[in-house]
Amino acid sequence: MAAPGKSNGIQLVVVGSIGIDTVATPAERREDLLGGSVSYACAAASYFSRVGMVGVVGMDFPPWCTDLYDRMGIDTAGLQRKAGSTFRWSGVYEENMIDRRTLSTELNVFEKFSPVIPGQYSDAPFLLLGNIAPGLQADVLKQVGAPLFVAADTMDLWIKTARDGLMDVISRVHLVTLNDGEARQLSGEHGLARCARWIMAHGPKYVVIKKGEHGAMLFSDEGVFIVPAYPVEEVRDPTGAGDAFAGGFMGRLAGLGRAPRLQDLREALLYGAVVASFVVEEFSLDGIERQTPETIESRMAALRAMIVP
């Protein structure tokens, strides 16, 4: 793991959901899996920087889950425990392992989640706002100092139901990440370059547009950088790949210990693609938990060779 940096060692703070999942794929069905955007993002980031989580769980949250966080060096000072049950989600993936159907969503304690940033996190230099309501993202921004770099994720629900709040958050962060359909929905444009230009005109310096199995695109005033997805031989569970991608990306940036440059973002996105590829090869965090800095660097070298022989 990376050496501690600022804020009592916390270099990156991740805010979002923590849950217990039931996932069915064409090959297998698994119950009571650790999930949520915070779990995946923090696990991915932990290989590059000292990361702290902010989320909420119920009193039923299994001890083995917090044990896993501890083994990965993830700080849990921001993990709230509330009376009630932990957020639960269940879904099934189609044969193509891309399309999925949600079978059930039980918000439980997550329904009234109010993020509280611990004092030791307040001056952390990097912040990842996971896909939660824009009002909650704005509350987090009020509780932190002046981070070097803030990234925010969002989704179609917030574009439909909380657009004004979302636009306020977008105006206050350095980078926004969303998928191609959401970029079109938010901007009213069709071409992704025009979508990104519209979003950047409203505040952020960078926009990452995700394209699933086809990778992602980083837009800035200096042009476009295309990030491929690492081609794995077998996908067992795609759940959390996008969150791991964002976590690996932000963790890598945070580990630099300084304000990132464009080239830093490009390289960090490749690391995000690498850690996401480990996630999809197994269920839950099984694939990423068993990695080492050496296995990550080996796959990173292989990805570089695919891009530039």
Question: What residue type is assigned to position 147 of the chain?
Answer: P
The answer to whether 292 touches 305, Cβ cutoff 8 Å, is no
* Residue 308, token pair as written in the block: 């530039």
Please say if the pLDDT value at position 2 is more than 50: no
In sign, the C-alpha dihedral spanning 35, 133, 190, 207 is negative
Please state whether the predicted TM-score (pTM) of the whole model is above 0.85.
Answer: yes
Q: How confident is the model at residue 309 (pLDDT cuts 50, 70, 90)?
A: confident
Q: How many other β-carbons are positioned within 10 Å of the β-carbon of residue 244?
A: 31
**HSE (side-chain half, CA atoms, 13 Å) at 216:** 29
Distance CA 33, CA 154 (A): 23
Please say if the pLDDT value at position 4 is more than 50: no
- Hey, which residues does 56 pair with through a beta bridge? 80
Give 156's contacts (C-beta < 8 A, 6+ positions apart): 181, 182, 185
Q: In Å, what is the CA distance from 140 to each residue of 150, 265, 271, 292? A: 11, 23, 26, 32
Q: How confident is the model at residue 8 (pLDDT cuts 50, 70, 90)?
A: low
Q: What is the mean pLDDT of residues 4-21?
A: 82
Give 243's contacts (C-beta < 8 A, 6+ positions apart): 16, 37, 39, 40, 41, 44, 130, 153
* Residue 231, token pair as written in the block: 């081609």
**Residue range 86-133, pLDDT digits in tens:** 999 999 999 999 899 999 999 999 999 999 999 999 999 999 999 999
Q: What is the mean pLDDT of residues 190-219?
A: 96
Distance CA 33, CA 112 (A): 22
Residue whose token pair is 């547009």: 209
* Residue 209, token pair as written in the block: 């547009």
Nearest to 251 by CA among 291, 197, 224, 301: 291
- Please provide the average confidence, as pLDDT, over all residues in the chain: 95
**Residue range 140-151, pLDDT digits in tens:** 999 999 999 999
Nearest to 125 by CA among 144, 147, 145, 146: 147
The answer to whether 219 touches 203, Cβ cutoff 8 Å, is no
Q: How many other β-carbons are positioned within 10 Å of the β-carbon of residue 27?
A: 11
The answer to whether 61 touches 86, Cβ cutoff 8 Å, is yes
Q: What share of the chain is helix, strand, coil (3-state, %, to 5)?
A: 40, 25, 35
Sketch out the chain's domains with CATH numbers.
Answer: 12-307 (3.40.1190.20)
The answer to whether 100 touches 91, Cβ cutoff 8 Å, is yes
Nearest to 34 by CA among 71, 79, 69, 6: 69
Residue whose token pair is 């509350």: 139
State in Å, rounded, how far the first CA of the chain is from the last one. Answer: 30
Nearest to 73 by CA among 132, 146, 9: 9
* Residue 304, token pair as written in the block: 């570089």
Residue whose token pair is 């973002």: 265
The answer to whether 84 touches 156, Cβ cutoff 8 Å, is no
In the DSSP assignment, the letter for residue 309 is -
Please say if the pLDDT value at position 190 is more than 80: yes
